[in-house]
Structure 1
Amino acid sequence: MDDQNKNLILATALSFLVILVWFLLFPPPESSPGATGPDGQPVAEQEVQGDTLTPPGDPSLAPASPDATAANTPETEVDPDVTAPEAARISIDSPRVVGSINTLGGRLDDLSLPGYRVTLDEDSDLVRLLSPTGAESPYYALHGWIAVDGAETEDVPTDRTLWEIEEGETLSPDSPVTLRWDNGQGLVFRKQIAVDDDYMFTVTQSVENTTGEDVTLRPYGQIRRNNQIDTTNFFILHEGIVRMSDGELEEIDYDDIPDLSAEEGRIEVAEDGWVGFTDKYWMTTLIPEPGTAFRSVVRGVGDTYLAESVYPSVTVEAGATASAESQIFAGAKEWETIREYQQGGIDGFLDSIDWGWFFFLTKPIFALLHWLNGVIGNMGWSIIVLTLIIKAILFPLSYKSYTSMAKMKELQPEMEKLKERAGDDREQLQKGMMELYKKNKVNPASGCLPILLQIPIFFSLYKVIFVTLELRHAPWIGWIRDLSAPDPSSILNLFGLLPWATPEPGSIFAIVSLGILPILLGISMWLQQKLNPAPPDPTQRMIFAWMPWVFMFMLGTFASGLVLYWIANNTITFIQQYAIMRSHGYKPDILGNIRGKSPPATKK
């Protein structure tokens, strides 16, 4: 077998090895038909058939008492056979959220988002955020009181307390509702719930003391979530607990919650913070009043995860009334909406969006992309304009790189003569090349700097496209209706000309089911590669020749927005490099030998 065939086999094997490793590290997200899960992707259909609750007055699912320590926090087993009695519901009718409040426990446990559907179909189900007990994956929020002094546990409302509706029939931005419960022992509890035009609920709890003695209670908020959660399961994305504690952001994956010790799960917050559950696009978060001290608690109880905010004790004097106000965000992680809440006083709320390691790049890149989309009105064209801006910023470095490449192209004839003289003596070849570079003042490594700068920018933009809600279901042109999803076209059915469907995402056939954008990506990379000097080593040259087509498969299942950026980047780079090389008196040979042995660039 000659060297050329050996090199071809080696290059082919390495290429497919790279593809295999890539798909092991970056598996395409799986999807299944049906209703929406916490990340807004389809899951199995759910049918709610009543409520299954914890035992009456169960203290272990309530927040810890003021003096409780990690060692004496009780454990709980949720009894699946306990069925809740029928309870009235209060409808929620708001521009951004719809659903109902359960008067049993006063729980916010039925919430959907009218602005978002599970799929692109017009008749697709709304994305459902919160679900009651009895659903396949219960997820709800409640607020209450802990008896501290002068009252017993049975004197305060629990998750099984049946509240009466005192005021309001439907919760809307203009119409709050009030629930009332009299414990029959001289304490009257009220819970007023209001909602704004977006996703923020305000809960004002009050207690009226007619017992004749002082009573000390401690208010709390709690989010409960069943641990059977359908996640995206992608390592670059955080899904689980997210909380801010006096300026310190903490992210805890769902898998890590059961392993938390009491000390790890509990933080005493001095002034500002919040705690809750975050998914890819949606979030439910408890938010105390800014400047309020509270205990932030994360723990697992049985098959339930809990996020809690426990507030300072309140002493209610005889004949007096005390109240406590807090908020709960339950909705979509829209950058502009969350930014407005942060500007309104919620410390670090924008950090609830997972910006990643390169947050110092991700945040400004997204802010610029968001602004461009507001001006242009199309996220796809905004990505292309963003690419132009990034290339303009990096142009001074790119100019030096392309100038160096032009000089190296000029040296190609002398390089070929060196290889002929050196023969198989690699040491002599390398020494001759270094002398040639030094003599002509060429730095072969200068072309690496723009590439190194592109890597964090590429990952930052990938993070923006993968994580931020604004790219979800965002169309570009024609067949690209969702820039956060892979190109739906397929070469296997000649891009829709043949009557069969494309392979299911995640299948082995999806890997080779290249769409139009991935193919354009491969072509743009191949054209750009033709402008670069070919490596002197035959094996390296063969590997480089395969790289555009390897990346075509590697990025084929990535979000269309990311592939669009890479195509635009390659096209602009090609134009810049071609123009600069021509300005130095050389006409690059674009259509030279396909295996990488392009003839040297010629003088004009």
Structure 2
Amino acid sequence: MESQRNLLLIGLLFVSFLLFQQWTLDQQPQPEPTAQSQSGAPSASQADVPSSVSAAVPNSNADVSAQLITVSTDTLSISIDTNGGDIVAASLPQHKVEQDGAEALTILSEHYVAQSGLIGAQGPDGQGERPQYQTTATSFTMTGEQLVVPLSYTDANGISFEKRFTFIKGSYDVAVEYVVNNNSNQNAQVQMYTQLKQTTSVEEGSMFMPTYRGAAFSTADERYEKYSFDDIADANLNELTQGGWIAMLQHYFVSAWVPSATNNNELYTRHVGNYAIIGAKQPSVVIAAGTAATMGADFYVGPKDQEALSALSETLNLVVDYGWLWFLAEPLYSLLMFLHSLVGNWGMAIIVMTLIIRGIMYPLTKAQYTSMAKMRNLQPKMQELKDRFGDDRQRLSQATMELYQKEKVNPMGGCFPMLLQFPIFISFYWVLLESVELRHAPFFGWIQDLSAQDPYYVLPVLMGLSMFAMQKLQPTMANMDPMQAKIMQYLPVMFTVFFLWFPSGLVLYWLVGNLVAITQQLIIYKSLEKQGLK
């Protein structure tokens, strides 16, 4: 098979990939007009909290903040509402909205909150209104390795509830814990719930950055499952599982509740007005009179740091979603991380990784061009067979296969190496799209963010020129279809246009790969000429 046909096949596959990405984008929920949220729509902390499957998770229209507690650590800036003790705001001081900017990236805000509480017969959140917690201060700043923020509430029966938020230096994980002292003269039954509530009026990714924003969960049977805003609107999730977790995803960042791994937890979703809710309820706990009990869950809000997420749950790192080619993307990510630890620059790590991948594929590339050269040399014999057998396709096919076996030629040998590049390309595309380490990662000169497109389009143009040079090195068949030849001429232009919007790190990978391929072609051609093959 001729190289031009292979290149055309790659172009068609590439376009199919883009069309698939656009189809995926079309299936995602469309953003609603933002004017609704600006014209009297309730905030996430004010909107109704849905009923759970069997008991009422608080239905609190009067979720109006009485007081906000601010908490500052090296990694988190958080606001906690004393009405219910919800986390109603969270920003990340170490991650800026813009590169080299001063504004910290906000994850949780007015329309996206993390809630937790105690329901049940004696649960303070199951009595129609949220408990009004007391606190020792309105502002907490971490000065050591750990910071504990205590909230306290005592109900009419004398049962005291302490809600503790424990922050660890350098961590995006917050341990949320309830200590219940039953000072009444009867048993108390409580049940802890945790949930994330977010408006569905959010912007989705573009055609070339089809990032997912929505909910996800994990059970003992389903290690990782997306549950989009549309899914939540269509049907309520109701899963009973040991352990598990629930999360809200947004490109490089995630918020997640991880309840006790040893409990049988109930995962649920609700859709209320303009809000999507995903939550988890832990089993009910009966606290005897005069005794105390402790229950809790971990809350994570921050970047998709695979190591940190795996430390909370062995499956939570799967929110770094590499798609159906995860088995290729994961080793590519590991290789990229290792190379960065050696060279200290993400752009250089991409270049070195490209050299390694191309080096590993060199034997296949050499076999490809050798097969193509042999196929070209067989053209006179192929024509003789066509003249001999005429329209007898069965005998022609049999004779052709015998010729291939005699000459030790694999007619598919020219396709495989090129087709193999595409899964690697798509896998690396998802690595760049999902790896927060590459967000705002500089290369040199004008490339200051490898996760964003080249601001001056230099790399895409160079990539197009390198592709044009590769095309010129390919031998041209005299009997090539004129329409096919014209398409081949425009492929470098088409690819250049496509790559204008791709992350510059991906374009760098493809450009370096082309330059290496050109070098390998010249070396292989010289070797073939010595063997008498053009």
Q: TM-score, normalised by structure 2?
A: 0.83
CA shift in 2, pair 1:55/1:383, >3 Å: closer
Q: Is residue 44–residue 197 contact of structure 2 (8 Å, CA) maintained in 1?
A: no
**What's the counterpart of residue 251 of structure 1?**
226
Which of 202, 205, 208 is equivalent to 1:232? 205
- Tell me, yes or no, if structure 1 residue 378 matches structure 2 residue 345: yes
CA shift in 2, pair 1:109/1:49, >3 Å: farther
Q: How far, CA to CA, are the matches of 1:388 and 1:559 in structure 2?
A: 19
**What's the counterpart of residue 163 of structure 1?**
133
**What's the counterpart of residue 585 of structure 1?**
529
Q: Is residue 221–residue 286 contact of structure 1 (8 Å, CA) maintained in 2?
A: yes
Q: How far, CA to CA, are the matches of 2:286 and 2:277 in structure 1?
A: 26
Per the TM alignment, residue 453 of structure 1 is displaced from its structure 2 partner at its CA by 1.3
Per the TM alignment, residue 462 of structure 1 is displaced from its structure 2 partner at its CA by 0.7
Q: Is residue 120–residue 284 contact of structure 2 (8 Å, CA) maintained in 1?
A: no
- Tell me, yes or no, if structure 1 residue 209 matches structure 2 residue 188: no
Equivalences for 1:170-569 in 2 at 5 Å? Answer: 170=140, 172=142, 173-196=145-168, 197-232=170-205, 237-246=211-220, 248=222, 249-260=224-235, 262=236, 265-270=237-242, 272-339=243-310, 341=311, 346-408=313-375, 440-489=407-456, 515-535=457-477, 536-539=479-482, 540-569=484-513
CA shift in 2, pair 1:29/1:298, >3 Å: closer
Q: Is residue 354–residue 512 contact of structure 2 (8 Å, CA) maintained in 1?
A: yes
Q: How far, CA to CA, are the matches of 1:55 and 1:485 in structure 2?
A: 36
Q: Is residue 269–residue 295 contact of structure 1 (8 Å, CA) maintained in 2?
A: yes
**What's the counterpart of residue 86 of structure 2?**
107
Q: How far, CA to CA, are the matches of 2:361 and 2:82 in structure 1?
A: 59
Q: How far, CA to CA, are the matches of 2:409 and 2:419 in structure 1?
A: 19
CA shift in 2, pair 1:438/1:531, >3 Å: farther
SS of equivalent residue, structure 1 residue 195: strand
Provide Cα deviations, 1:315-358, integer angstroms capped at 9, x if missing partner.
1111111110211111111234334x25xxx1212111112101
CA shift in 2, pair 1:200/1:310, >3 Å: same
Q: Is residue 347–residue 442 contact of structure 2 (8 Å, CA) maintained in 1?
A: yes
CA shift in 2, pair 1:75/1:97, >3 Å: closer
Q: How far, CA to CA, are the matches of 1:293 and 1:21 in structure 2?
A: 44
Provide Cα deviations, 1:403-443, integer angstroms capped at 9, x if missing partner.
2234346568x59x969x99xx9999x97995986775443
**What's the counterpart of residue 92 of structure 1?**
71
Q: How far, CA to CA, are the matches of 2:485 and 2:420 in structure 1?
A: 24
CA shift in 2, pair 1:176/1:49, >3 Å: farther
Q: Is residue 320–residue 435 contact of structure 2 (8 Å, CA) maintained in 1?
A: yes
CA shift in 2, pair 1:525/1:118, >3 Å: same
CA shift in 2, pair 1:444/1:528, >3 Å: farther
**What's the counterpart of residue 28 of structure 2?**
none
Q: How far, CA to CA, are the matches of 1:141 and 1:545 in structure 2?
A: 55
Amino acid at match of 2:178: Q
How many residue pairs get aligned? The number is: 504
Q: How far, CA to CA, are the matches of 2:340 and 2:73 in structure 1?
A: 26
Per the TM alignment, residue 364 of structure 1 is displaced from its structure 2 partner at its CA by 0.9
Q: How far, CA to CA, are the matches of 2:10 and 2:367 in structure 1?
A: 31
Provide Cα deviations, 1:515-560, integer angstroms capped at 9, x if missing partner.
2111111122222223333243232233223222221212221111
**What's the counterpart of residue 502 of structure 1?**
none
Per the TM alignment, residue 308 of structure 1 is displaced from its structure 2 partner at its CA by 1.2
SS of equivalent residue, structure 2 residue 323: coil
SS of equivalent residue, structure 2 residue 70: strand
Gaps of 5+ in 1: 1-13, 31-42, 133-137, 490-514, 589-599
Amino acid at match of 1:61: P
- Tell me, yes or no, if structure 1 residue 126 matches structure 2 residue 104: yes
**What's the counterpart of residue 145 of structure 1?**
118
Gaps of 5+ in 2: 1-8, 26-33
Q: Is residue 294–residue 312 contact of structure 1 (8 Å, CA) maintained in 2?
A: yes
Q: How far, CA to CA, are the matches of 2:232 and 2:405 in structure 1?
A: 59
Q: Is residue 247–residue 273 contact of structure 1 (8 Å, CA) maintained in 2?
A: no
Amino acid at match of 1:354: D
Q: How far, CA to CA, are the matches of 1:530 and 1:17 in structure 2?
A: 20
Percentage of matched positions with identical amino acids? 30
Provide Cα deviations, 1:543-579, integer angstroms capped at 9, x if missing partner.
2232222212122211111111111111112212221
CA shift in 2, pair 1:127/1:427, >3 Å: farther
Provide Cα deviations, 1:357-388, integer angstroms capped at 9, x if missing partner.
01111111111111111211111111111111
Per the TM alignment, residue 444 of structure 1 is displaced from its structure 2 partner at its CA by 3.8
**What's the counterpart of residue 4 of structure 1?**
none
SS of equivalent residue, structure 2 residue 226: strand
Per the TM alignment, residue 99 of structure 1 is displaced from its structure 2 partner at its CA by 2.9
Amino acid at match of 1:362: A
**What's the counterpart of residue 4 of structure 2?**
none
Per the TM alignment, residue 164 of structure 1 is displaced from its structure 2 partner at its CA by 0.4
Q: How far, CA to CA, are the matches of 1:177 and 1:157 in structure 2?
A: 25
SS of equivalent residue, structure 1 residue 162: coil
